[in-house]
Amino acid sequence: MLRRQSLSLSAARYVYMYTEEPLGERKGFSLVKFNKETGQEEGRVWVDKRRPDYSFDPISGFVFVKENSKEIFALRFPPES
């Protein structure tokens, strides 16, 4: 369900994945930002739904998740270091 968008040069360094893989003690569903060069995880946002309706804005670092017909949540990956 990932959507391709035109990317800035810095955003082109990353790939985004949806996963159910736990992180430490935390379980659930998340969208994960990986650095393509190092393979390291650079950020994670947690979502409540198994198959969320979402869209990335890799330039700003926001993920927009549609909760229902009247609510959209904006989540942000940590800024680049």
pLDDT, tens only, 41-59: 988 888 877 777 888 887 7
Within a domain: 2: no
Is 5 a domain residue? no
Residue range(s) defining the domain that contains residue 60: 11-76
Both tokens of residue 3?
Answer: 């959507």
> Angle 23-25-27 (CA atoms, 0-180°, nearest 5)?
65
- State the total domains in the chain: 1
Tell whether 18 is covered by a domain.
yes
Give pLDDT, residue 2: 47
Residue 62's Cβ-count burial label (10 Å; 0-12, 13-18, 19+) is: middle
Binned at pLDDT 50, 70 and 90, residue 10 comes out as: low
Which amino acid type is present at position 5?
A: Q
* 44, part of any domain: yes
pTM of the model: 0.66
pLDDT band with cut points at 50, 70 and 90 for residue 80: low
Question: Does residue 4 belong to any structural domain of this protein?
Answer: no
